Amino acid sequence: MNSRQVRSLLQKVAAGETPVVSALRELKHLPFSEMTFARLDTHRALRTGASEVVFCSGKTPDQIVKIFRRFAALEQPVFATRAEPAIFDAVRAALPRARWYETARIIASGSFPRPRGRRAILVVSAGTSDQAVAEEAAVTASLLGSRVERLYDVGVAGIHRLFRDLKRIEDAAVLVVAAGMEGALPSVVGGLTSRPVIAVPTSVGYGANFRGLSALLAMLNACAPGIAVVNIDNGFGAGFIAHRIARN
């Protein structure tokens, strides 16, 4: 342990065994002290509120299972996003109590913090096809410990459906709004609330949608203030920052 090394050095200084000049030189040569980093790593764990989140894309079921087993052994919670059914089958074979959020494509294992907070995060989605991304956001925020509510299928082409829930829109701590195609929903929602809005463009669409680019650009250009945007289809990122905002 480096902390012990420093303690030992200080003890030698206290004991007069090491002159101050030598001790100073030695401390200078520790480029970035281990203590600092240990502290940083600990902070990191504290910060995210979950020891680890696994992004499944590009990993084999075996790799995922190994990670889940390690955390189960540590009795720490863990969850994985973008999980295909085959991955869940493998995880459940190893850890029968693992949970499967099918629409969200999330696997969770272990005991997560209980959702709390007076005001909920409201996750809003435009069309049924945007629901997978919306659920990724909702389940993520929920597993991290936020209270989450949902308001789905309120796309701008039937804008009146949105107005039925005006009160929930106004009362949320923060809103996550997922939409594909023209990505107009965050602008409309942003005009109806005084809460921060996290917009998630989805890759739902075809042709001049360019795999989510149209929704992304629309949201970055939203005329209503109070909106910030995450990457295309990044439900996890939206849920994560929404949790941070709500927890503030």
Smallest distance, Å, CB 115 to a copy of itself? 17
Based on the shown chain and the rule CB under 8 A, indicate whether residue 14 belongs to the binding site for a copy of itself.
yes
Stretch that binds a copy of itself, among 67-75, 87-95, 97-105, 154-162 (CB under 8 A): 154-162
At 245 the three-state DSSP class reads helix
Per-residue contact string for residues 21-50; x = within reach of a copy of itself by CB under 8 A: --xx--xx-xxxxxxxx-xxx-xx-xxx--
Based on the shown chain and the rule CB under 8 A, indicate whether residue 204 belongs to the binding site for a copy of itself.
yes
Among residue numbers 166 through 195, which ones bind a copy of itself (CB under 8 A)? 166-167, 170, 173-174, 181-184, 187-188, 190-195
Tokens encoding 68? 């889940």
Do 224 and 192 meet the contact criterion of CB atoms below 8 Å apart?
Answer: no
Tokens encoding 73? 């052994």
Among residue numbers 208 through 227, which ones bind a copy of itself (CB under 8 A)? 208-227
Based on the shown chain and the rule CB under 8 A, indicate whether residue 234 belongs to the binding site for a copy of itself.
yes
Q: Which is nearer to a copy of itself, 59 or 92 (CB)?
A: 59
Helix (H) / strand (E) element for 101: namely strand 99-101
Q: Which is nearer to a copy of itself, 55 or 96 (CB)?
A: 55
Angle subtended by helix axes 20-29 and 2-14, to nearest 10 = 170
Residue 238 phi, psi dihedral angles, 5° rounding: -65, -45
Per-residue contact string for residues 48-67; x = within reach of a copy of itself by CB under 8 A: x----x---xx---------
Smallest distance, Å, CB 158 to a copy of itself? 5
At 248 the three-state DSSP class reads coil
Q: Count each helix (H run) and each strand (E run) in the chain, helices first.
A: 11, 9
Stretch that binds a copy of itself, among 67-75, 93-101, 104-112, 230-238 (CB under 8 A): 230-238
Q: Counting Cβ atoms within 10 Å, is residue 81 exposed (0-12), middle (13-18) or buried (19+)?
A: buried
Among residue numbers 77 through 136, which ones bind a copy of itself (CB under 8 A)? 126-127, 129
d(CA 163, CA 142): 25
Residue 110's identity, in one-letter code, is G
Size of interface with a copy of itself, in residues (CB under 8 A): 107
d(CA 30, CA 93): 47
